[in-house]
Structure formats: C-alpha cells, structure tokens
Amino acid sequence: MTAQHRVSARMITMELAMKARQGLPDPVTLASALSAVGRALDAGDPLVRDLDEFAEQFPRFSRDPELLSDAGERLWSSVERSTWPRPMSRSDIEG
C-alpha cells in the first residue's frame, strides 16, 4: 500500500482514539479503522495488533466510559508510536 493509505489508516484510528478518550463509543469509526488499517499495514505491524485488541474489548469498553477513555489513550499512544521512524540497521554496531 502507498504512504497515503498508511496515513489515512492512522488518521481514522486517531479519530477513533479521540472519541474513545472522550468516552464516546463509535462502532462505525471502529469498523472503518479496522478496514483501513487491515488494508494499509502488514499483519505484524504493532498498530494492527493494538487496534485488534481494542476491537476485541470494545463491547466491554463501550459500556464503561472510564474504561473506554483509558483504552482510547492506549490506542492514541499506539498511533503515535506507529509514526516514529523505523530504526536503521547499523553494521558498525550490529555487525
């Protein structure tokens, strides 16, 4: 997928995280995020794993605004980490 698809997937996931942080359950945005992230990122990407975990717990979170807010904060952090540059291999250090 293109960089534009990856950025779009992260933006949708950020929207989901922001709503969750406010205690607002949004199953439509969750479905959009799952679809976009699933198409744009590799299955082993940490954001895919974190979003899947959020989705699995969503029914329980959506009934408790405090749990939902905490889960949204963790998802937000995951999106932030997904934008960090990948470390470069250094043959002088790693051999």
Residue 51, in any domain of the structure: yes
Residue 74, in any domain of the structure: yes
Reported pTM:
0.85
Distance between CA atoms of 54 and 85, rounded to whole angstroms?
24
Domains identified in the chain, total number: 1
pLDDT tens-digit readout, 4-56: 999 999 999 999 999 999 999 999 999 999 999 999 999 999 999 999 999 99
Distance between CA atoms of 23 and 59, rounded to whole angstroms?
13
C-alpha closest to that of 37 among 17, 23, 65: 17
pLDDT interval class at 2 (50, 70, 90): confident
Distance between CA atoms of 68 and 77, rounded to whole angstroms?
14
Residue 39, in any domain of the structure: yes
Distance between CA atoms of 39 and 15, rounded to whole angstroms?
17
For 43, the domain range is: 3-82
Residue 87, in any domain of the structure: no
Residue 91, in any domain of the structure: no
Residue 90, in any domain of the structure: no
